[in-house]
Amino acid sequence: MAKEIKFCLLFRDMWQSSGKYVPRVDQLTKVAPAIVEMGCFARVETNGGGFEQINLLFGENPNKANREWTQAFNDAGIQTQMLERALNGIRMNPVPADVRKLMYKVKKLQGTDIARSFCGLNDPRNLENSIKFAKEGGMISQAAMSVTYSKVHTVEYFSNLAEELISKGADEICIKDMAGVGRPVFLGKIVKNIKDKHPDIIVQYHGHSGPGFSVASTLEVVKAGADIIDVAMEPLSWGTGHADILTIHEMLRDAGYIVPEINMNAYMKVRSLIQEMVDDFLGYYINPRNRFMNSLLIGPGLPGGMMGSLMADLENNLKSLNKWFAKNNKPEISQDELLIKLFNEVAYIWPKLGYPPLVTPFSQYVKNLALMNVMQMEKGKERWSMIDDNTWDMLLGKSGKLPGTVADEIKELAKAQGREFFDGVPQSLYPDALEDIKKEMKEKGWEFGQDDEELFEYAMHKPQYEAYKSGKAKKDFEADLAKKKAEKEKVVAPATSPVTDVTYQPKTMNIDVNGENFVVSVSYDANEVAKPATETKEATSAPTVSGNLKEVLAPIEGKFFLTKDNSETPVKIGDQIKKGNIVGYIEAMKVYNAIASGHDGKIVEILVENDKDVEEDEVLIKVQ
């Protein structure tokens, strides 16, 4: 008898792999009934990593969104699934065990049936608690193996990993080919090994379409015994996303498998509603290049889930780099040239970093470090001159055991910086915190919410939740969206003014008059009048100092913070600092990059406010 194959609609990942933001709750609840009406999905990926944090970023409560969005599927008997990152929960950095445990309880009560748990390093120690906590919370535990392709990631490696995860209690196994670089036969062999030993274990295949293997891979894993296939649909299928349901459906039906019928009227309705969401505001955050497949992705193996943010990062860094080239009389480079440099650097450093599977958050760490290396080397500086704390934690073993071995040059750099490697259980480094978080919420007068869901949200996404509660998140998002709309209108509208000279010109100057330092605004617009030096000095509250001042510059663009968390004490004017002391952080590309002073001395001026955007080479602090 022919085998029945089921489908899961990756609604969360469709947006994650395309751009930055996700639909609003009113849009989600509008499309849900039409997805149900399609009649072909046994499962829908409704929430999890990225999705809920992004709700907060545009000022929406993810708990309300999740409850309302999943209701239609719960009522129709369609299983809902979330994606979570084991030690990191649904954020980018490690989470205390008691917060992780609360997550499953909350999400199950909100309407999520299945927890797809993956560790970016495939460390079973990190997944053990995910399996245990998910089942205790009443959820189905699906343990995901982060697939990549290297000399250490063999068929035997993944087959043994699946065996260990099943022995720890996993109900299901997901073959998570997040970059789509798993070769079809290679994936088929892994699935066959699992099914030969555990024929009753459900195997679900998740493969991105970017490099072009995923359709062939789907056929191979189904032949080997896979039960459920993850799919997307237009207008967000293919590209850095996933194969379209129509293609996979017809291929498997032709191969003799039993597949559910698709209500094409409902398909077109869902397709139209998704396009409406894109046209409304989400399209402003989707790079057109993410809609294309690209075989160049085979080399670096970067996942589709991060390609949406990669192109935005690349665009910003290209502007910054070309600005530096212009200041230093060097020829500018194109985005394609920077992209190839980045891909080459990823391929070069990946083995040296111990072959971490290129999945969130470790794909971001590898990509960020590669991009930092490229940026620094293009400016004549050394490779490895900027490694953020999150990447160091990965290299030192604080996030789990790396599949490969860290290169000697990295070990030497760690030793020189006084960093120690760790081989214990990662969760032990992040003690329980819920009681302290409850105390903080009570002091703020905030409710824990239905089923402690607001407590969970604050514990999981503290800075984003605070920005949501204050209204700052929504205000910032609306300002950013308005800016993007204005920029688009400017591009579409015919030019009404002459082309201006784009040669770099400073906006401020530091002028010493009789030993007294002034910050002076400089205007190059004939219609503007530069403010007098004394007026600028008064407006910026610059202190009167004498002698030569040394500057701490921003090494990259991003948001400036004096501290990374509440455990740190921010520097202030009057502090004596030593060369190498951390004076702040710049959040860029989802990580905090520590800013070290290059000078000894006393802080006499802090020029940038906390949580403000800064440009590369902008003066942050002055030291005397």
Domain residue limits, the chain: 508-623
| Cα(349)–Cα(364) distance, integer angstroms | 13
pLDDT score recorded for residue 309: 58
Q: What is the mean pLDDT of the chain?
A: 87
| Cα(364)–Cα(370) distance, integer angstroms | 10
pLDDT score recorded for residue 226: 98
Q: Which residue has the tokens 């929504």?
A: 474
Q: Across residues 371-376, what is the average pLDDT?
A: 88
> Which of 299-313, 360-374, 536-550 ranks highest by mean pLDDT?
360-374
Q: Which sign does the torsion angle of CA 506, 508, 510, 511 carry?
A: positive
At residue 496, does pLDDT exceed 70?
no
pLDDT tens digits, 573-619? 888 888 878 888 887 755 677 888 888 888 988 988 877 888 777 88
| Cα(94)–Cα(85) distance, integer angstroms | 9
pLDDT score recorded for residue 599: 83
pLDDT tens digits, 381-405? 889 988 888 899 999 999 999 999 9
CATH class of 508-623: mainly beta
| Cα(152)–Cα(214) distance, integer angstroms | 22
> Which of 267-271, 515-519, 533-537 ranks highest by mean pLDDT?
267-271
pLDDT score recorded for residue 537: 36
**b/e per residue 278-310 (b: at least 16 CB within 10 A):** beebbbbbbbebbeebeeebbebbbbbbbbbbb
Q: Across residues 285-314, what is the average pLDDT?
A: 70
At residue 426, does pLDDT exceed 80?
yes
Q: Across residues 56-82, what is the average pLDDT?
A: 96
Residue 196 has phi, psi (to 5 degrees) of -60, -35
> Quick one: pLDDT band at residue 76, thresholds 50, 70, 90?
very high
Q: What is the value of pTM for the model shown?
A: 0.79
pLDDT score recorded for residue 465: 94
Residue 509 has phi, psi (to 5 degrees) of -135, 145
pLDDT score recorded for residue 307: 57
| Cα(258)–Cα(475) distance, integer angstroms | 50
> Quick one: pLDDT band at residue 349, thresholds 50, 70, 90?
very high
* Element housing 591 (H / E): strand 591-596
pLDDT tens digits, 202-232? 999 999 998 899 999 999 999 999 999 999 9
pLDDT score recorded for residue 454: 97
pLDDT tens digits, 149-189? 888 999 999 999 999 999 999 999 999 998 899 999 999 99
Q: Across residues 317-345, what is the average pLDDT?
A: 86
SS (H, E, C) 391-425: HHHHHHCCCCCCCCCECHHHHHHHHHCCCCCCCCC
- Residues paired with residue 228 on neighbouring β-strands, in sequence order: 6, 204
Determine which of 165-169, 418-422, 557-561 has the lowest per-residue pLDDT on average. Answer: 557-561
Determine which of 120-124, 284-288, 350-354, 499-503 has the lowest per-residue pLDDT on average. Answer: 499-503
Selection from 396, 365, 460 nearest residue 95 by Cα: 460
- Residues paired with residue 414 on neighbouring β-strands, in sequence order: none
pLDDT tens digits, 450-493? 999 999 999 999 999 999 999 999 999 999 999 999 988 876 55
